[in-house]
Amino acid sequence: MPETVVLRQFAYLDFEEDLDAIAEAAREAGPDFEIVVQRVDPNDPHVRGVTGQSILEVVASGAGSYAFGKVADAIVAKARASWKARHPPNHWPRTHIVKILGPDGEVLQEVKVSDDPPHQAACDNRLPEG
């Protein structure tokens, strides 16, 4: 039985536009893995609404293996490329993050795949007051 990698949205609409392409990239990188996509049902009374960050959680029973590393790298690369393809430079709707979780829910890796907000650069260059 193949190991399973679960791609799941943290909140409604997180990575929704890119989820199928990310799953396909994961399947190509790890054909021995079963890739399962869990979308959020907007009609579920327990669903989280849109949050300040868009988070894609990647949960794998074989996290830490070389084969899973290739799958995780493909997921991050596709998520980053998809985000950049849909957003012009200096446009920032929400920070997009891919979280790699172990089978027990521990965060093994957290990767920001979106650009920094344009106002952040301006804030970093301000002179200190006083």
Q: Read off the pLDDT band of 119 (50, 70, 90).
A: low
One DSSP character per residue, the chain reads: ---EEEEEESSTTTTGGGHHHHHHHHHHH-TTSEEEEE---TT-TT-----SEEEEEEEETTTTSHHHHHHHHHHHHHHHHHHHHHS-TT--SSEEEEEEE-TTS-EEEEEE-SPPPHHHHHHHTPPPP-
pLDDT on residue 43: 84
Q: Give the separation between CA 44 and CA 29, rounded to whole angstroms.
A: 32
Bridge-partner residues for 109, per DSSP? 100
What six digits make up the tokens of 39? Answer: 């979308």
* Residue 107 or 121, more confident: 107
Residue with tokens 């007051």: 129
Residue with tokens 């293996």: 65
Q: Quick: pLDDT tens for 59-117.
A: 987 777 888 999 999 999 999 999 888 877 666 668 899 999 988 889 999 999 988 76
Q: Give the separation between CA 89 and CA 106, rounded to whole angstroms.
A: 33
Domains assigned to the chain: 4-124 (3.30.429)
pLDDT on residue 13: 83
Strand pairing category for 53-60 and 95-101: parallel
